[in-house]
């Protein structure tokens, strides 16, 4: 019936299109082979140069601050440092509020009187991006301002693009006095190493 006729017409058009495409490829074999080789080469180049497991950084609208004081520091001393960090963060352009937790270690997720975790929240993207206040710009400015605080180890970490996969692991360097020259020389060597590392543009803290 009508369905069979419609099917035959559609099939005839598809067959005609396939025949025309095959004829074009046959008549332009060299050009089509060159395009094919370019596509294969491009795919191989992408496989070789694309970082494995790469997840681009994202603007999550907040940043994480981890503060660590010496082991003997009291909770009152930690709270005072937290208040100073909070004040500096709120004065930083692009940050509108800060959630602060004194006595909580963000690294170990445990209570610790000498540790604190703060979560500065950024302004709405529409408002801050017009001023050039991207997440990277705010984070860099916050790191610079917090560097004036003494007596605490403070790091500013962008939140991970995928929850559970951190971005603040970095790496650890341990300095050992293998010849027993004393704590003064060990401290001087450590300071020299830290100062050299700070000059590297690929390291942030």
Same domain membership, residue 76 and residue 157: yes
pTM: 0.57
Chain centroid to CA 77 = 31
- What's the pLDDT at 151? 87
Domain total for the chain?
A: 3
Same domain membership, residue 89 and residue 161: yes
Radius of gyration of the chain (CA): 29
- Domain hosting 194: range is 171-205
Dihedral sign, Cα of residue 144, residue 149, residue 153, residue 157 = negative
- What's the pLDDT at 167? 55
154: in domain? yes
Same domain membership, residue 179 and residue 92: no
Same domain membership, residue 194 and residue 119: no
Rounded to whole angstroms, the Cα distance separating 71 from 54 reads 37
b/e burial code for range 38-74 (CB count within 10 A of at least 16 → b): eeeeeeeeeeeeeeeeeeeeebeebbbbbbbbeeebe
Same domain membership, residue 111 and residue 197: no
Same domain membership, residue 205 and residue 157: no
Query: Contact 152/69 with Cβ under 8 angstroms?
Result: yes
Dihedral sign, Cα of residue 127, residue 128, residue 130, residue 136 = negative
Residue pLDDT tens, the chain, 205 long: 677 877 788 888 888 888 888 888 888 889 889 999 999 999 999 888 876 666 667 788 999 999 999 988 899 999 999 999 999 999 999 999 999 999 888 767 778 889 999 999 999 988 888 888 999 999 999 999 999 998 899 999 888 776 665 555 566 788 888 888 888 899 999 989 988 888 888 777 6
Tokens 């069979």 — which residue? Answer: 4
- What's the pLDDT at 53? 64
Dihedral sign, Cα of residue 39, residue 41, residue 47, residue 49 = negative
The SS3 assignment for 10 reads helix
60: nearest Cα among 122, 139, 106: 122
- What's the pLDDT at 35? 92
Same domain membership, residue 161 and residue 71: yes
CATH of the domain at 80: 3.30.70.1430
The SS3 assignment for 32 reads helix
């Amino acid at each position: 019936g009508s369905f069979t006729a419609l099917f035959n017409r559609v099939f005839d058009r598809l067959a005609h299109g396939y025949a025309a495409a095959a004829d074009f490829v046959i008549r332009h074999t060299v050009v089509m082979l060159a395009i094919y080789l370019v596509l294969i080469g491009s795919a191989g180049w992408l496989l070789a140069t694309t970082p494995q497991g790469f997840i681009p950084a994202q603007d999550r609208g907040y940043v994480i601050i981890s503060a660590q004081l010496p082991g003997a520091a009291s909770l009152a001393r930690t709270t005072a440092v937290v208040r100073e960090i909070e004040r500096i963060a709120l004065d930083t352009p692009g940050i509108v509020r800060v959630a602060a937790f004194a006595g909580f270690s963000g690294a170990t997720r445990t209570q610790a009187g000498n540790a604190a975790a703060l979560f500065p929240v950024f302004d709405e993207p529409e408002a801050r991006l017009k001023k050039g206040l991207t997440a990277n710009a705010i984070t860099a400015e916050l790191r610079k301002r917090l560097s004036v605080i003494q007596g605490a180890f403070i790091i500013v970490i962008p939140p991970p693009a995928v929850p559970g996969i951190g971005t603040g692991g970095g790496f650890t360097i341990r300095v050992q006095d293998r010849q027993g020259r004393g704590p003064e020389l060990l401290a001087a060597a450590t300071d020299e190493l830290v100062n050299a590392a700070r000059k590297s543009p690929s390291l942030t803290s």
